[in-house]
Amino acid sequence: MKRQKSFENEKPTLFLVPTPIGNLKEMTPRAIEVLNEVDVIACEDTRVTGQLLKHFDISKRLITYQNYNEENSSKGIINLLQQGNNVALVSDAGYPLISDPGQRIVSEAVGAGFNVVPISGSSAILNAVVASGLIAQPFIFVGFLPSSTNDCVKKLAEYKPYPMTLVFYEAPHRIEKMLKNCLEVLGDRKCCLAREMTKMHEEFIRGTISEVLAECDGLKGEMVVIIAGNSDDYEKDIDMSHLLQMVNDKMDLGMSKSDAVKETAAATGISKNFIYDLVHGKDRVS
């Protein structure tokens, strides 16, 4: 077990600093303060982050941290922390780790006993969900779907039974193909396409998947797609083996069967009674 009291020790810290998703006025005072105070800033693209720092008159050493060089970059950042440096991790826009690099270094920094401190800020996911007009909670953030149609369809099929609102990222050159796949696999559910959020041309297109699809030709900008969850009989469609595995996993962490069932119900939206009936009378779920 590791217990981190972020501001009650003098350990070097890895700060996770979100950056504006469009409007630079959304950079928080605390984020600016942290970037001014750390020793090194790790970023996806030094040119993009360099422009951001220039705008806020921040001068710091920049190093790159990207998916393709995560192994070497993580070693370098851990080395910097071991030398007593504080490091800020930023992405080009939005939160690090959310469809952006950062997972490996966070895991390694936690494992090495350093502080990992998140800074509040812009979030394309939350912006889109709360303004979508669809049920905001609970939701599942899927991120980018696979690029191949076959893999995309398989991934969508995994999420088809769930009653929670589904949230995806998508690029403009793939949006039509993605929505066609969604229409085929999920059916014509309620949908919202949010694009260019916080920018001059911010737009929310709300309707069914087919209606949104009809409007997306030629659209530009990074996009968030929010789709209503399954309103049919979820309990008939759910993959029981997956549901039971969730209960087992929680029991493996030391939870009682009762608590494991309650947490699984909260996470999936399935009634507790249904899950209790599923596992009733078994000392070990199987």
> SS3 of 152, please?
helix
Q: pLDDT tens digits, residue range 208-261?
A: 999 999 999 999 999 999 999 998 755 555 667 777 888 888 888 888 888 888
Tell me the two tokens of residue 189: 């559910």
Return the closest-CA partner of residue 104 out of 80, 130, 76: 76
Q: pLDDT tens digits, residue range 66-106?
A: 877 788 889 999 999 999 999 999 999 999 999 999 999 99
% of the chain surpassing 90 pLDDT: 72
Instruction: Name the pTM for this structure.
Output: 0.78
Q: pLDDT tens digits, residue range 139-197?
A: 999 999 999 999 999 999 999 989 999 999 999 999 999 999 999 999 999 999 999 99
| Mean pLDDT over each residue of the chain, to the nearest integer | 90
Instruction: Give the mean pLDDT of 23-46.
Output: 96
HSE toward the beta carbon, residue 162, CA cutoff 13 A: 23
CA 206 to chain centre: 22
Strand partners, 190: 208
